Amino acid sequence: MDRESKKMKILIGITGKNITATTHALINKLKKHYRQVDIDVISAYINNKNNDCDRTMCSKVYDLMVGGNVDDLRYPFKCLEHIRHLKSSIEITNNLYDVCFFVNSDKITDFTNFNIQKVYPKQLHIFDYALHEHDKTHSVFVSISEYFWYCNSIDYNNIATFYKFYNLSSDNTLLDRVYNDDNVPDNEKMGYEFFMYTKILGITNVE
């Protein structure tokens, strides 16, 4: 197991109905992996009455209320946009987080078979709009699905603009082409769009 010798500062950005149980499960996994770790949690949902996170398990917990239709497939990414704004304000007066996670607890709850891969903290990532693939041995973006992924702080901020990109899209954009593509099943279109967006940013995904 690749365990860090220095103290890691980690952010978990989480949304969904199952925030508490999912947060606890991920924190337990991270504490088994890293020797020394400080974990902050930002939970974002229509309300946070369902967030009963054990605050002794982490350094700080921030709760955000995000309006909208929770049944909309875009809603988790709207929450991510709010998480990004708060994360950025926290980092203005603190060091950058080493590793940042995003979890939709409606989709992901079990981390038993999840193996943590190396993320290079604070690595500046050069966007490659020609979509050239980067060296996977220096991954900064690891994903299980569009609903569970992690990376360094800088790339997190950029990936988290997906919701804004989605809503600002106009006719004949990538998203329109995806939605009009009968070869992409309806239940896979959001994920397809999300990973196409990371490619537009030039960020290579390692699954």
Report if residue 141 sits inside a domain. Answer: yes
Contacts of 109 (CB under 8 A, 6+ apart): 18, 21, 22, 25
Quick one: 89 exposed, middle or buried, by C-beta within 10 A (0-12, 13-18, 19+)?
Answer: exposed
pLDDT in tens, 88-104: 999 999 889 999 999 99
- DSSP secondary structure string, 106-169? TT----TT-------TT------TT-PPPPGGG-SEEEEETTEEEE-HHHHHHHTTHHHHHHH-
**What is the domain count for the chain?**
1
Exposed e or buried b per residue across 66-76, where buried means at least 16 C-beta atoms within 10 angstroms of its C-beta: beeebeeeebb
Q: What pTM was computed for the model?
A: 0.81
Distance CA 185, CA 196 (A): 15
- Predicted confidence (pLDDT) at residue 115 exceeds the cutoff of 70: yes
Report if residue 1 sits inside a domain. Answer: no
What does residue 62 show for φ and ψ, rounded to 5 degrees?
-115, 135
pLDDT at 205: 62
Distance CA 14, CA 192 (A): 21
How far are the Cα atoms of 107, 154, 181, 198 from residue 177, in angstroms, in the given order? 26, 29, 6, 16
Show the domain range for 65. Answer: 8-200
More confident site: 175 or 72: 72
Report if residue 35 sits inside a domain. Answer: yes
Domain containing residue 45: CATH number: 3.90.550
Report if residue 207 sits inside a domain. Answer: no
pLDDT in tens, 62-80: 999 999 999 888 899 999 9
CB 147 within 8 A of CB 76: yes
Report if residue 205 sits inside a domain. Answer: no
Report if residue 55 sits inside a domain. Answer: yes
Half-sphere exposure of 15 (CA within 13 A, CB side): 27
Contacts of 182 (CB under 8 A, 6+ apart): none
pLDDT in tens, 138-168: 446 788 888 999 988 988 998 898 888 766 5
Report if residue 59 sits inside a domain. Answer: yes
In what helix (H) or strand (E) does residue 68 lie, and over which residues does it extend? none
More confident site: 82 or 4: 82
Report if residue 3 sits inside a domain. Answer: no
Percent of the chain predicted with pLDDT > 70:
72
pLDDT at 75: 92
